[in-house]
Amino acid sequence: MNKTVLWNRYNAKNAAHSYILGFTFKGRVIAVSVDAKTCADYVKLDRASRGAGYSLRFKPNTGDKLDLLVTGDTFEVCSAAAFKALVSESKYNKGEIFEMLVTEHFGQTWVKDNIPFTEAGDINVDGTEIQIKFEGATFCTEKQMLRLEAGA
């Protein structure tokens, strides 16, 4: 399995083809809107846990972050300190808190849900389904894709 094959298989099942990627940079939490083609440049093939084969993850290094700052539509979500405080005071993880902040940025009310990526994005903005991923996030695993392709 290579990154391109798994990414193409993921996108064939994905209900969203727009992404908002988030990361910390110089004491700020940054959000960058990108399309699927651009997102593919910043996705890394990694080993999944619990015997799930490979996974696609958003694990940007400093160079990736610098590239993303000039590549996509960018906005500051909050300070890294405020983000850390929100995470520590919440039952939600970093990805969920980032998703909440981005949703609120677009004037919508965030509700924790478990809607599969095959049915909808994390947010809909002006009729566009968008996946929201914070650094360290997993897009999918090889095992998950095999299960989806088998119709399970």
Does residue 102 have a pLDDT over 70?
yes
d(CA 46, CA 91): 27
Query: Which of 80, 63, 78 is closest to 26 using CA atoms?
Result: 80
d(CA 92, CA 100): 10
pLDDT digit string (tens) for 47-66?
A: 887 776 889 999 999 999 99
- Tokens in use for 150? 């088998």
pLDDT digit string (tens) for 35-44?
A: 999 999 999 9
Domain coordinates in residue numbering, the chain: 3-144
